[in-house]
């Protein structure tokens, strides 16, 4: 079990009062008179035409009507906390006195993962399921029709519920004389984007292979190397009318494999070491040095295709065996270099791309089409100088990202863009770093 806190929605319990000081750039003032030495701050909330000075929070006086005309996310107050089951089976073998290897299978299953479901959805019957643009459907559903929620249809509220009437009158949804047809075809048409959150409908499945080689400290050297392969999948909703997750996809919460390693080595010179152990001037210079380093490599995350696309080819043809970054070292862009195959079958004509109310025609993620990989070396060099007694001076230098390997941003995934498939941005925080440390202990 895990615990997750969430705050109660405070809608209706706060209000902002805004007063316009001037409508002609200070030539005249609606309150205050700076020209004659009267600051607007002397009475920043003057009495208004209705006799009030402030917009008063409505609290819970309007009940469910508090959210009309606006968006609202309903938390699941009876939420079930996410549950995860884990298992691991491994075997370890000592290959020699100082060398061991371990191989393990690991897995997990998570359920009751929080999922949000839209409640004011447009029913499936109004969505285009063909792999071709449908402007007729878009024009019909986006067309304006008389607004049955116009405030003029609720004049009786002036007397029966003036607070609600005032709240509606200041909301553009109710003050407009027209509204789009698709809004009236939705459930809860009086609320724009009503979402039920924290529903325990999500699931995540993980299977992994772990291999570790460990070299115990001996002769001044210790180290380890590891390899892991992971397959993680999760379910999700696809369309806004889905009442539960309908699609399983590869999760970006894991990478297909990862290689990592690290080592520490005490150089074999100086007192107590293999060479120059008898002391002397050379031993004082070359002795008591230690070096270490780490290495890590993993593929980038799967590229997210947020925008719906039309695609007429084979998904397996999108990934390239030799993806190229378009951004060159001199800051220019080579338009012939792309990260994935832009000619695999994407619809690039803006006049033919999916219109509104189009069912998902392209996956959210395509296996094999990943972002720039992570690869980094880090090293350090340490010298411990014994000054006598318990006094010791340590001089150390750490170098992060030794090879100064740049990490690039994600490629452009808009087929109508001239930069489609190209990486033209870099992450500015992936430079080489030096850290110098001096420590005196006594």
pLDDT score of 83 more than 70: yes
What per-residue confidence (pLDDT) applies to 1? 41
CA distance 353 to 370: 24
Residue 78 has a pLDDT of 86
Over the chain, what is the mean pLDDT? 90
Closest to 388 measured CA to CA, from 346, 442, 325, 316: 442
In the block, tokens 């009437």 appear at: 165
Mean pLDDT check: name the lowest of 14-23, 368-377, 394-403.
14-23
Give 166's pLDDT tier (boundaries 50, 70, 90). confident
Task: Please answer whether residues 363 and 283 qualify as being in contact, where contact means their C-beta atoms are separated by less than 8 angstroms.
Answer: no
Residue range 37-41: mean pLDDT, rounded: 84
- What is the token pair recorded at 415? 């087929």
**Tens digit of pLDDT for each residue in 223-267?**
999 999 999 999 999 999 999 999 999 999 999 999 999 999 988
Paired residues of 194 in beta bridges: 72
Q: What is the mean pLDDT of residues 152-167?
A: 92
Burial classification of residue 104, based on how many CB atoms lie within 10 Å of its CB (0-12 exposed, 13-18 middle, 19 or more buried): middle
Handedness of CA 416, 417, 418, 419 (dihedral sign): negative
How many CB atoms are closer than 10 A to CB 419? 14
* CB distance 302 to 378 below 8 Å: no
What's the rounded Cα separation, in Å, for the pair 122 and 174?
20
What count of other Cβ atoms lies within 10 Å of the Cβ of residue 367?
Answer: 14
Q: How far apart (Å, rounded) are the C-alpha atoms in residues 290 and 396?
A: 9
**Start-end of H helices in 373-426:** none
Contact 116, 196 (CB under 8 A): yes
pLDDT of res. 280: 62
H-type alpha helices, 29-156: 135-142
What's the CA gap between 254 and 204, in Å, rounded?
A: 11
Sign of CA dihedral 143, 147, 148, 149: positive
Residue among 421, 402, 401, 418 at smallest CA distance from 410: 421
Q: State how far the Cα of 199 lies from the Cα of 115, in Å rounded to an integer.
A: 5
Q: Provide the b/e sequence for 280-289 (b: ≥16 CB within 10 Å).
A: eeebeebbbb
- Nearest C-alpha neighbor of 234 from the set 114, 119, 80, 121: 114
Tokens 């553009």 appear where? 172
Write out the two tokens for 33: 């008179």
Of 48-52, 329-333, 381-385, minimum mean pLDDT range: 48-52
What is the structure's pLDDT at 2? Answer: 47
Q: Dig out the tokens for 124 from the structure.
A: 């499936």
Give the residue among 191, 183, 70 at the shortest CA–CA distance from 126: 183
75 touches 197 (CB < 8 A): yes
**The dihedral sign for the CA sequence 166, 167, 171, 177:** negative
| 3-class state of residue 32 by DSSP | coil
Please give the pLDDT value at position 75.
Answer: 87
Task: Tokens for 269, please give them.
Answer: 């010179």
pLDDT of 323 strictly over 90? yes
Distance CA 109, CA 202 (A): 11
């Amino acid at each position: 079990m895990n615990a997750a806190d969430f705050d109660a929605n405070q809608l209706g319990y706060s209000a902002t009062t805004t007063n316009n000081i001037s409508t002609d750039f200070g030539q005249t003032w609606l309150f205050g008179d700076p020209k004659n030495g009267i600051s607007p701050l002397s009475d920043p909330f003057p009495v208004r035409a209705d006799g009030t000075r402030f917009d008063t929070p409505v609290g819970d006086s309007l009940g469910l009507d508090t959210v009309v005309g606006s968006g609202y996310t309903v938390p699941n107050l009876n939420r079930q906390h996410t549950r995860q089951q884990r298992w691991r089976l491994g075997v370890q073998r000592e290959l020699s006195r100082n060398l061991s290897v371990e191989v393990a299978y690991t897995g997990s299953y998570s359920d009751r993962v929080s999922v949000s479901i839209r409640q004011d959805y447009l029913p499936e019957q109004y969505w285009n399921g063909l792999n071709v643009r449908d402007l007729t459907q878009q024009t019909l559903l986006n067309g304006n029709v008389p607004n049955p929620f116009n405030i003029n249809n609720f004049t009786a509220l002036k007397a029966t519920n003036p607070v609600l009437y005032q709240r509606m009158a200041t909301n553009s949804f109710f003050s407009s004389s027209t509204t789009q047809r698709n809004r009236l075809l939705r459930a809860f048409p009086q609320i724009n984007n009503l979402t039920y959150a924290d529903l325990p409908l999500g699931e995540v499945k993980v299977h992994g292979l772990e291999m570790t080689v460990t070299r115990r400290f001996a002769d001044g050297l210790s180290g380890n190397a590891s390899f892991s392969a992971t397959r993680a999948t999760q379910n999700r909703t696809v369309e806004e009318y889905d009442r539960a997750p309908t699609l399983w996809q590869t999760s970006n919460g894991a990478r297909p494999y990862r290689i990592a390693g690290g080592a520490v080595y005490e150089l074999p010179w100086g007192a107590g070491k293999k060479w120059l152990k008898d002391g002397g001037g050379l031993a004082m210079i070359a002795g008591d040095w230690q070096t270490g380093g780490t290495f890590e490599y993993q593929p980038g995350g799967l590229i997210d295709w947020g925008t719906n696309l039309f695609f007429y080819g084979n998904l397996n043809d999108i990934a390239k065996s030799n993806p190229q970054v378009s951004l060159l070292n001199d800051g220019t862009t080579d338009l012939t270099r792309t990260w994935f195959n832009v000619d695999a079958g994407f619809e690039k004509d803006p006049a033919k791309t999916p219109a509104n109310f189009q069912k998902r025609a392209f996956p959210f993620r395509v296996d094999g089409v990943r972002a720039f990989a992570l690869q980094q070396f880090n090293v350090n060099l340490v010298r411990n100088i014994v000054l006598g007694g318990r006094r010791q001076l340590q001089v150390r230098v750490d170098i992060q990202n030794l090879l100064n390997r740049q990490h690039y941003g994600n490629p452009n995934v808009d087929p109508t863009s001239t930069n489609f498939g190209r990486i033209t941005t870099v992450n500015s925080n992936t430079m080489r770093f030096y850290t110098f440390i001096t420590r005196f202990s006594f």
